[in-house]
Amino acid sequence: MSAHSMYTLRARFKKDIVAEFLPPARKSSRVIIICGGMPCVPSKKELLSFWAKKGFWVFYPRFRGTWESGGEFLKKSPHEDILDIINELPKGFIDLWGKAHYQVKPSKLYLIGSSFGGPAALLASRDKRVTKTVVVSSITDTPAMKHSKAEPLGWLYTIVQGAFGEAYRCPKKNWNKLSKGFFYNPTKHIHELDGSKIIFIHAQDDQSVACKPVQQFAKKINAAIILLKKGGHLSASITAQPRFYKAIQKFFRA
């Protein structure tokens, strides 16, 4: 059986960051890094397989201090974990299952961020090595999450600690930085973002991340946005659906 059908591969970057990954089905130097939401059980084998079959190297890292990765969650901004991986790819990394050594010098580098991972994708998109960025149900103003209808910040911390335990190793002082506005907050860096590199996908009935502020954010940076009337809080997996894949493919090529 091939690695694609059995399991995703795994690598460790910068000592702490564990990422699932798959090589492309055909020779390619195009790369996708998926910045996942939180809290979630990291299970995106189908999505990784989908993009790998389309000819991309695909990486799905666990932010520092979460799941298999070492460190402390939110000690550093999660977007720095993404930049650390981008820095490491050309230097080489090892598949921890089979001990194969890989080295990738991306010809194109794409980020897909969803929900809490959206700010990581948006903030990392400022790096000139990032070609394009897709954000799904993304947070754009972290302090505003205090007033989220479905997942307000205070409530969410209790859930993360109680329901996920050691999967998220996050001292309260780290979590509290989210509501201050200076940390992991795309709105703080809105004038540094290049809207032509970014496309938003958002549902108007999203109760976790309100749609209207995201629309306004997209308009301010002159970014494209795909709006759905219904769909609730969407996940990155939506990018594999034919309608969205087609739009994203067109956006990647533009």
Q: Is residue 253 part of a domain?
A: no
Count of C-beta atoms within a 10 Å radius of residue 90:
12
pLDDT of residue 4: 46
Stated pTM of the model: 0.96
Total structural domains within the chain? 1
Sign of torsion, CA 50 53 54 56? positive
Instruction: pLDDT tens for the chain, 254 residues: list them.
Output: 344 445 899 999 999 999 999 999 999 999 999 999 999 888 899 999 999 999 999 999 999 999 999 999 999 999 999 999 999 999 999 999 989 999 999 999 999 999 999 999 999 999 999 999 999 999 999 999 998 888 899 999 999 999 999 999 999 999 999 999 999 999 999 999 999 999 999 999 999 999 999 999 999 999 999 999 999 999 999 999 999 999 999 999 98
pLDDT of residue 7: 81
Q: Is residue 228 part of a domain?
A: yes
Q: Is residue 254 part of a domain?
A: no
CATH number for the domain harbouring residue 123: 3.40.50.1820
Q: Is residue 164 part of a domain?
A: yes
Of 40, 37, 65, 18, nearest in space to 174 by CA: 65
Q: Is residue 191 part of a domain?
A: yes
Q: How far is residue 120 from each of residues 83, 103, 124, 164, measured CA to CA in Å?
A: 9, 23, 6, 21
Residue 239 domain boundaries? 3-248
**ω before 39 within 30° of 0 (cis)?**
yes
Instruction: Say if residue 78 is exposed, middle or buried (CB neighbours under 10 Å; 0-12, 13-18, 19+).
Output: buried
pLDDT of residue 41: 87
Of 199, 168, 198, 190, nearest in space to 78 by CA: 168
The residue with tokens 């739009």 is: 247
